[in-house]
A and B are shown apart, each in its own frame.
Chain A
Amino acid sequence: MAGSMGYQLSFNQIWTNFDKLAEGLLLSLGLAFISILIGAIIGLVLAIWYVSAGRVARTFISGYVEFIRNVPLLLLVYLVFYGLPTVVNISYSAPVSFVVTLSLYAGAYLVEVFRSGLDAVPKGLLDAGKAMGLTPWQRLLYVRLPTMTRITLPALSNTFISLFKDTSIASVIAVPELTYGAQWINNKTFRIVEVYAVTTVLYVVTGYAILFGLRLLERRFRVER
């Protein structure tokens, strides 16, 4: 049928421009990786703070979490890239702006993950720490955090995959990640069906390859309960 429409599939020009997709894929992974690192720090700090925080601080943390979770990521990307520089006297490149946005975004999701992770640490472990004479800080550092990390590992994997897919939105502010690479090749070659076919496969295969690797890691560090 496609043949009768006069559209012939031809992947040659996709392969000659494949470097755009390969570099884009690497940048996508990099953006997701940096964002989950910063997001994890934000999430962890706020989750620990939340437990001992007063009412005002709790409202502030919940406000941040609910705001980010209920607004489209696209709008947040625009807000940080086009909106903020008009009032704050700073200028940043599109990739930096996107990492800031995606980190804040990841942070909001990870606060919840870490909060439930901290709750899920078996009380017996903390009692054992107390019995050994560990100070509250030592219990946090040596008992709660390591156990929580192992408990939250599956949720962290899912968040990473989800962030990896969200990096496609960086294309709207011309960050040369995978989706932008696809658009670039399309503008140059008009091989729209082919370029998106290859791009889709790249996203799906990379996503599941990472997920598979992370699942192995999770099995290795699973907490027996």
Chain B
Amino acid sequence: MDAIIYSLPFLMNGLGVTLLVSAIVVALSLVIGVLLGIGLIYGPWPLRWLIRLLSDCIRGIPILVLIFVVYYGLPPLGLNLSSFWAAVLALTVFKSAHVIEYVRGAVTSIPRGQMEAGMAIGLIFPQRLRYVILPQAMRRFLPPWLNGVTDAVKGSALVSLLGVVDLMQAINQVIGRTYEPLPLYVLGALMYFAINYSLSTLSKVLERRYSYIRE
């Protein structure tokens, strides 16, 4: 028990890395996913086809394998990344593919009439997106996306396998010294739980708040 208390600062550092990895991945994948998601819906057909193929393939690969592919596969091709950035890159690619699908789901759920109404009052395409479609799609996008953020936090635990000292790796290192696996794994599980449960609860609250929107 003492060992756990002494190791708390170390675990907190790990937790910081977990949150940092998650935050970078969530931010980057949001930008990339939204842009590609709009490309998937409104782009010319070669672009749509390419994004669809990429998204389907990436979502078909286990995230662990994707992390190994990026970490071990890029150096022989001449691109060297630290284990931290390799993990961030792999998670970002993976998360982006999911964000694309949240965007597609949200935008295509907005009735066609909205776009046509925008056209009728003379808005150009970027204006129709900015003032008509996206504000409405936002409410359908937010709950699943927020729920997906928990996947990023959970997925970030895999960076420990590249030796990045995140919460998961910090726990394993403390266990390596104290030989008390159960209490430490339970403690770690509770820490992940606290973060993700808040996020998924917020997601449910938002979903309920926005549920007045009907087709």
Interface residues of A (CB under 8 A from B): 1-2, 5, 7, 66-67, 69-76, 78-79, 82-84, 86-87, 165-169, 171-172, 179, 182-183, 186, 192-193, 196-197, 199-200, 203-204, 207-208
Asked whether, in the complex, the Cβ of A86 is within 8 Å of the Cβ of B197, the reply is: no
B185 touches A186 (CB 8 A): no
- Can you report 21 residue pairs joining A to B where beta carbons are below 8 Å apart? A2-B76, A2-B78, A5-B76, A69-B150, A69-B196, A71-B189, A73-B154, A74-B158, A75-B157, A75-B171, A83-B182, A83-B185, A166-B62, A172-B161, A182-B65, A186-B72, A192-B72, A200-B61, A200-B65, A203-B65, A204-B60
Question: Does B64 lie at the interface of the complex (its beta carbon under 8 Å from any beta carbon of A)?
Answer: yes
Report the nearest A residue to B192, measured CB to CB: A71
Which chain B positions have C-beta within 8 A of A197?
Answer: 73
Instruction: Enumerate chain B residues within 8 angstroms of A76, measured Cβ to Cβ.
Output: 189
B residues with CB within 8 A of A: 56-57, 60-66, 68-69, 72-73, 76-78, 150, 153-158, 160-161, 168, 171-172, 175, 180-182, 185-186, 188-189, 192-193, 196-197, 200
**Contact between chains at B196 and A71 (CB < 8 Å):** yes
Contact of A72 with B78 in the complex, beta carbons under 8 Å: no
**Chain A residues whose C-beta falls within 8 Å of the C-beta of B68 in the assembled complex:** 179, 182-183, 196
What CA separation (Å) do A196 and B70 show in the bound complex?
Answer: 10
Task: Point out the residue from B60, B158, B185, B186 that lies within 8 Å of A208, measured CB to CB.
Answer: B60
B73 lies within 8 A of A196 (CB): yes
A5 near B78: Cβ-Cβ < 8 Å: yes
Task: Please report whether the interface of chain A is mostly helix, strand, loop or mixed according to DSSP.
Answer: helix
A131 and B183 alpha carbons, distance in the complex (Å): 55
A197 to B155: give the CA distance in the assembly, Å.
Answer: 21
- A2 with B182, Cβ < 8 A, contacts A75-B188, A200-B69 known: no
Looking at the complex, which one of B155, B156, B193 makes contact with A67 (CB distance below 8 Å)?
B193
Chain B residues near A171 (CB, 8 Å)? 64
Residues of B within 8 A of A208 (CB): 56, 60
Q: Do A168 and B64 have beta carbons less than 8 Å apart? A: yes
CB distance from A69 to the nearest CB of B (A): 7
Q: Select one of A2, A165, A167, A182 contacting B61, CB under 8 A.
A: A165
- Identify which of A71, A78, A204 contacts B193 (C-beta below 8 A): A71
Residues on A with C-beta less than 8 A from B171 are 75
A1 adjacent to B181 (CB under 8 Å): no
